[in-house]
Amino acid sequence: MTKSLTNAELGIEAVARRSGLSQHIIRIWERRYSVVRPIRTASNRRLYTEADVVRLALLNRAVHAGHRISDIATLPTPKLEQLVGKDFPNPAVTRFKDKGVSPNFIELALNAITKFDFARTGCNSVTR
């Protein structure tokens, strides 16, 4: 699968933050199960798409729900969405909820970020 640089703009650090997975796990799952296939820059840096982030987050949620990565790695994204369902908590929500942040606020914020159209703003991604 070929991705253009305009679609694949997220580095592994941002993907790890947004998916709830460690960079190490992302690399392992890429190598062992080909769950995503990031493009590589000339300097061999991985670049991911928004679709990659969604897929990794769904896989993370499914694994937290008790599914084995080896059993679900090849499922298409719509099947993963069905498998995870809407009721299983997002790991990012759980992490912040433990710190006293409202789960509803976190879900709303994550959804807003996911739907945000960076192209219309002239920005490539969120920066600190």
* Per-residue model confidence as pLDDT tens digits over 1-54: 444 445 668 999 999 999 999 999 999 999 999 999 999 999 999 999 999 999
Q: How far apart are CA 98 and CA 43, in angstroms?
A: 39
The reported pLDDT for the residue numbered 21 is 94
Q: How far apart are CA 26 and CA 49, in angstroms?
A: 14
Distances (CA, A) of 12 to 28, 76, 92, 117: 13, 21, 17, 20
The reported pLDDT for the residue numbered 109 is 76
Nearest-CA neighbor of 47 among 111, 125, 127, 119? 125
Q: Is pTM, for the whole model, over 0.75?
A: no
Domain positions in the chain: 12-88
Rounded mean pLDDT of 54-79?
93
Select from 1.10.3720.10, 1.10.1660.10, 3.90.1280.10, 1.10.3080.10 the CATH code of 12-88.
1.10.1660.10
Q: Is 90 helix (H, G, I), strand (E, B) or coil?
A: coil
